[in-house]
A and B are shown apart, each in its own frame.
Chain A
Amino acid sequence: MFRRPKLQDWQIVGLYTGKIIVGVGLMMLVPIVTGMVFAEWSVVLDFIIGILVALTVGFGLQLLCETKREMNWMHGLVTAAASWLVAMVVAAVPGYLSGHYGSYLDASFDLMSGFTTTGLYLLQDLDHISNGLNMWRHLLTYAGGQGIIVVALTFLIRGTSGAFMMYVGEGKDEKLLPNIIQTARAIWLVSLTFLALGTVLLSAANFIEGMDPVRSVLHGLWIYMSSWSTGGFAPQSYSVLYYHSLMIETLTMVFFIIGSFNFALHWAVWTGNRREIYRNVEIISFVSTLFIIVSLGTYGLMQVEALSGTAAFFRTGFYQFASAHTATGLITIYSGQFVNQWGVLAMIASIIAMAIGGSAASTAGGIKGMRLGIIFKSFVTDIRRLMLPESTVVLQKIHHIKTLVIEDKQVRAAMTVMLAFIFMHLTGAILGTIYGYSFIEALFESVSAGSTSGLSVGITSPDMPALLKVYFILAMWAGRLEFVAVFALIGFVARIVRGR
């Protein structure tokens, strides 16, 4: 029989959730400043109300739950899962007050989509929203890419022994440096360096394409944030198609592919281990599956004569498949084209790409290249075992920063998470089918939400059934946290009822 959570367990979870909510609240200073610069006073007011709500909830939780007890493994995981849900509800206030959402549920949906770097949205009249609100949407996706707990670890939580557990609960389980706070700062160093580079390049591209200087910089910054964090939000409803620019398409593709790499890989390459980029199991897995998907998808597009000429297949097909495979969600086609023009084979290729996603400990979602690599290696090793004498010891090895021997428990863990993803995607697809969408469309949208990709065939809209909105919110949340923290939270809640 499990132990029922005691008051001190609630206090620890509440205390750290409060700290994370304060961090999320302080992020609202950025849209407030943006609103002031552009004299958008109603936006400033919305975010002042938002920040007050967040700080009240955050500091209130810290006061109510004050404790000197240390966090253990379970507390860290439960805090990671709970803080994302509380952050969603609290941080949806300014969006709801903006008047661009049909309901608080819609505003919460977009918040979770932003934090989880999904990119699906229910916001209405996107092409006419304020700069402040646009800044907030893209900041959400940028901060969510690094992880809201990484934000809190960097600025608000110092030297706690439970910090690593929260970090793991957020779907990142690799230390770039021996200390977890230093690891969080290293992640920010990589992200902010690319932020500067990407914003300059994309702003220049916008300016060359004829935008005025201020708008060039704003769009450059937003599109960069969305690309790097594999987010999928864009300042225009036509996403990257709006720009009709090969230069912007290429730059966004460069940044979302690099953004989908493991932060441990970035750090290894940045600190001198440059060979790692072609030896790493996740890169090998990513390149292999990307090329299989591009081959399958391109053949599908040729079958239905959706495009013609190698350049068109590369510019349109490769972009969409790479966007799907990195779980980004930026597109250079109309969302209706997936259903009306792409044909079933290209849609299936996109679904598989989204389901696999990017690298572990990156900004991307999905099953991840690492797990696929482990499962594939295990499969090959099992076949080799059949060919060799029974007494032979066969080691399973992969290369990730260093050569690692895979144990059976790692294979089992990878399989468990993969099965959980498949179950979640199929449940969403069946739910969508019950609501009258075709199975392939419902599966596409379900995989997009669960793998935090953000590509859409048009199901996600303000008119979507409320139950489907709630399911997609939960799918984005569980998919981003990769189930472990969610299972811990479910176990924590179950122990209230079943424990002793």
Chain B
Amino acid sequence: VRAERFRGSDYRRYLAGIATELLFVIVLFAAGFLLIAAIDWVFIRWLT
């Protein structure tokens, strides 16, 4: 069982998993920032 027997290959896979999750959140932040920038631009350009 992977949860109990630690092998070198498991560690590498776990680290790759952590890196994937962190990368996902960074992409999410970037997308969120672009979304807010777009709303800001639309608001200033069209709605005020």
Interface residues of B in 22-43 (CB under 8 A from A): 22, 24-25, 28-29, 31-33, 35-37, 39-40, 43
Interface string of A265-277 (1 = CB under 8 A from B): 0100111101001
Choose among B3, B18, B25, B39 the residue with the greatest number of A CB atoms under 10 Å from its CB: B3
B13 in contact (CB, < 8 A): yes
B32 touches A314 (CB 8 A): yes
**For the complex, would chain A's binding face be called helix, strand, loop or mixed by DSSP majority?**
helix
B17 touches A270 (CB 8 A): yes
B25 touches A258 (CB 8 A): yes
Smallest Cβ distance from B16 to chain A, in angstroms?
Answer: 7
Smallest Cβ distance from B36 to chain A, in angstroms?
Answer: 5
Interface residues of A in 267-302 (CB under 8 A from B): 269-272, 274, 277-278, 283, 287, 290-291, 294-295, 298-299, 302
Closest to A286 in B: B28
A109 in contact (CB, < 8 A): no
A313 in contact (CB, < 8 A): yes
Closest to B22 in A: A254
Per the bound structure, the CA–CA distance linking A197 and B17 in Å amounts to 13
A270 touches B13 (CB 8 A): yes
**For the complex, would chain B's binding face be called helix, strand, loop or mixed by DSSP majority?**
helix
Per the bound structure, the CA–CA distance linking A300 and B1 in Å amounts to 50
B7 in contact (CB, < 8 A): no
Per the bound structure, the CA–CA distance linking A283 and B21 in Å amounts to 11
Smallest Cβ distance from B1 to chain A, in angstroms?
Answer: 5
Smallest Cβ distance from B25 to chain A, in angstroms?
Answer: 5
Smallest Cβ distance from B43 to chain A, in angstroms?
Answer: 5
A177 in contact (CB, < 8 A): yes
B39 touches A295 (CB 8 A): yes
A185 in contact (CB, < 8 A): yes
Smallest Cβ distance from A316 to chain B, in angstroms?
Answer: 11
Per the bound structure, the CA–CA distance linking A56 and B45 in Å amounts to 68
A119 in contact (CB, < 8 A): no
Smallest Cβ distance from A246 to chain B, in angstroms?
Answer: 12
Per the bound structure, the CA–CA distance linking A302 and B37 in Å amounts to 12
A269 touches B17 (CB 8 A): yes
Smallest Cβ distance from A291 to chain B, in angstroms?
Answer: 6
Contacts of B29 in A (CB 8 A): 250, 253, 318
Q: Given that A185-B4, A271-B2, A310-B40 are known contacts, is A294 also in contact with B35, CB under 8 Å in the complex?
A: yes
Contacts of B18 in A (CB 8 A): 193-194, 197, 270
A272 touches B39 (CB 8 A): no
B14 touches A182 (CB 8 A): no
Per the bound structure, the CA–CA distance linking A299 and B2 in Å amounts to 47
Given contact pairs A177-B3, A269-B21, A290-B28, a sample of 10 additional A-B residue pairs in the complex whose CB atoms are under 8 Å apart: A197-B18, A254-B25, A257-B25, A269-B20, A270-B18, A274-B20, A287-B28, A298-B39, A299-B43, A313-B36
Question: B: which residues have CB within 8 A of A?
Answer: 1-4, 13-14, 16-18, 20-22, 24-25, 28-29, 31-33, 35-37, 39-40, 43
Minimum-distance CB pairs A-B, first 10: A270-B17, A186-B3, A269-B17, A185-B3, A310-B37, A274-B20, A313-B36, A310-B40, A302-B43, A298-B39
